[in-house]
A and B are shown apart, each in its own frame.
Chain A
Amino acid sequence: MATNNDVWAVVETDGSGKPKKLGLELAGLAASASAKYGGTGGAIVIGPREAADTVAQYGVGNVFYVAGDSYKSDPIGPTAALVASLITQYNPRLVLLPSTPLGKDWAGRISGKLGLGIEADVIELNVEGGQATVVNPAFNGALRVSSRFTNEGEQTGLLLVRPGAGSAQRSEGATANIQEVQIPANVTPGATIVESVVEKGGVPDLAGAQVIVAGGRGLGSAEKFDLVNELADSLGGAVGATRAVVDMGWIPYAYQIGQTGKTVRPKLYVAVGISGEIQHKVGMQTSGVVVAINKDPNAPIFQFSDLGVVGDLHQVIPALTAEIRKRKGLG
């Protein structure tokens, strides 16, 4: 069955019912990609009417939303069933999902229901001559691979899109048909949330951060993570860490960057007291500008830094934080 010319975005909402930033990027990307196919684009908002109104400003022609709470206690099964049933009903050409754990859960379930192909970890989407080519980093970024769907236009393709592949731009005077949809009956249960725990100090948004200051064993102790926190604060960035310091219990696993942690792509990555072992490198090597501070001139991190500072972080970092605060007028 041939697909239509629409690219859809699946937009997640946060605890207060607002669309997540990555969702808005996907909506913007769906709108611009649809235009290249001659379609109007669409979005499925996993959230309330108000969120749909916001998403409608990003240029997609149709916006679906789910009222009520039916998708919350099991965040996976009901949503995946809903997206799958809308795909079956409308046959969009491509569906963009967030390349997050939850987005991957949805994509897997939808693919399993409908037998669809998935492009994962997409960092670029190019539509030319009615055909999509995507770029994904393979082997943790060691290679940039371009690929395509073999049956585009015949079967809907699912794309898991990373932050930064699209931009969350409102389009002037955008209007959309907004429609409420219901979770269908044929849900395969995913998992039930039995408790939600709020951690004080919060959780870093490493995937979406523009600036990351990451700390390693060179800090010397858990208390010295304050140096990293303060520098990140002055730069308006998030904090990350190596596995060595996670293993020592200086900081939770949610902060770990690297092979068995998160993969990040900020505009600026500052590595503080990090040696730059391969398993760390693979999680951050596609960052924009890399600055490293390490006292060992032979540290591997300097081989993939734009600016390498050989010196004692305990001296350099406080001075740097003060200098940045001064330049930004933060006092």
Chain B
Amino acid sequence: MNIVVCMKSVPDTTAEKRLLPDGTLDRASVDAVINPWDEYAIEEALRIRESGAATGEIILLCMGPDGSSETIRKGLAMGVDRAVLVSDPALHGSDYFSTARVLAEALRKIPFDLAMFGSQSTDAGGGVVYNIVAELLGLPAVTWVNEIEVTGGKVRGKRGSDVGYDVVEAPLPAIASVTQTAHEPRYPSLPGIMKAKKKEIAPMALADLGIAAGEVGLSGARTTVVGSERPQSARAKQIIKADDPTATAVAIADFLESKKLI
């Protein structure tokens, strides 16, 4: 049983972001990391194999600029076997549907039983890509799970509900998306990093997927950015020192009343 993990390379949260004039992110200006949610997907994929529930390969699938291979190496160093990078200048500015379509077409070329995703990406992510992929491939999907296991030809997980949680399951082959789980993504070991350097990152272009350039990227996008601004953080930053608890409590309550919050 093979597991594919779809991984997005995203700008580090701690970095300043700016948009290019065409409304897309200036990716060259910031350090890229594995989307933190996808790191959990990688960790859970490795654990599924370590548990004996999967014996085949674990493959990373990423759509992004050529520079994404640096981020992919981090995933390979965690213990993933190989990667596929779909990279094509025509993909720049792709919307959710186009991104999902590319991933779905690439998944048709990689035999898998389970395709795992993060539940959201930390850049402009909407948490929608994996459901589009699932629908395009006609597959079931367990989504937004914070625990995941594979047993008896099924993938099963725990998903938060209004009153607690639901145990959800789907027969394989299936799609799964994970949130933060209890398993902190492992740090690559030194041998892991060395081995990753020799692992394959197979390139794929649009032509390999039978998708025409005009259907994806900025020209094929169904949504377009028309402006952006930094939210003015006009916070007052007023500071009081809590010398006497009662007086401090009165001061805070006065403040809340002045803002009509109590």
A: residues with CB less than 8 A from B are 14-15, 76-77, 80, 101, 104-109, 111-113, 115-121, 133, 137-151, 155, 157, 160, 188-199, 202-203, 205, 211, 235, 243, 247, 253-254, 256, 259-261, 267-268, 278-279, 282, 285-286, 289-291, 293, 297, 302-312, 315-316, 318-320, 322-324, 327-328
Contacting chain A: which of B60-68, B187-195, B200-208, B253-261? B253-261
Q: Is the CB of A118 within 8 A of B97?
A: yes
Q: Is the CB of B128 within 8 A of A111?
A: yes
Given A116-B97, A197-B166, are A150 and B255 also a contact pair (CB < 8 Å)? no
Q: Is the CB of A268 within 8 A of B256?
A: yes
Q: How far is the CA of A310 from the CA of B238 in the complex (A)?
A: 11
Neighbouring A residues of B79 by C-beta, 8 Å: none
B: residues with CB less than 8 A from A are 11, 13-14, 17, 19, 23, 25, 36-37, 40, 95-97, 100, 119, 122-136, 138-144, 146, 156, 159-170, 179-180, 184, 221-231, 233, 235-243, 245-246, 248-250, 252-253, 255-257, 259, 261-262
Interface centre among A116, A197, A247, A261, by most chain B C-beta atoms within 10 angstroms, is A197
Q: Is the CB of A211 within 8 A of B261?
A: yes
Given A140-B122, A142-B230, A192-B170, are A109 and B131 also a contact pair (CB < 8 Å)? yes
Given A104-B131, A259-B36, are A191 and B170 also a contact pair (CB < 8 Å)? yes
Neighbouring B residues of A267 by C-beta, 8 Å: 261
A146-B228, A289-B256, A316-B249 known; 8 other A-B pairs, CB under 8 Å? A113-B135, A138-B124, A140-B122, A293-B242, A302-B239, A308-B237, A308-B239, A327-B262
Given A191-B143, A191-B168, A285-B233, are A119 and B250 also a contact pair (CB < 8 Å)? no
Q: How far is the CA of A279 from the CA of B23 in the complex (A)?
A: 24
Q: Is the CB of B97 within 8 A of A324?
A: no
Interface centre among A247, A307, A308, by most chain B C-beta atoms within 10 angstroms, is A307
Of all chain A residues, the one with the shortest Cβ separation from B160 is A254
Neighbouring A residues of B240 by C-beta, 8 Å: 307-310
The 9 tightest CB contacts between A and B, nearest first, are A108-B131, A311-B242, A117-B222, A112-B135, A120-B126, A199-B164, A319-B249, A319-B245, A323-B249
Given A148-B224, A278-B13, are A138 and B261 also a contact pair (CB < 8 Å)? no
Q: Tell me the minimal C-beta distance from B254 to chain A in angstroms.
A: 9
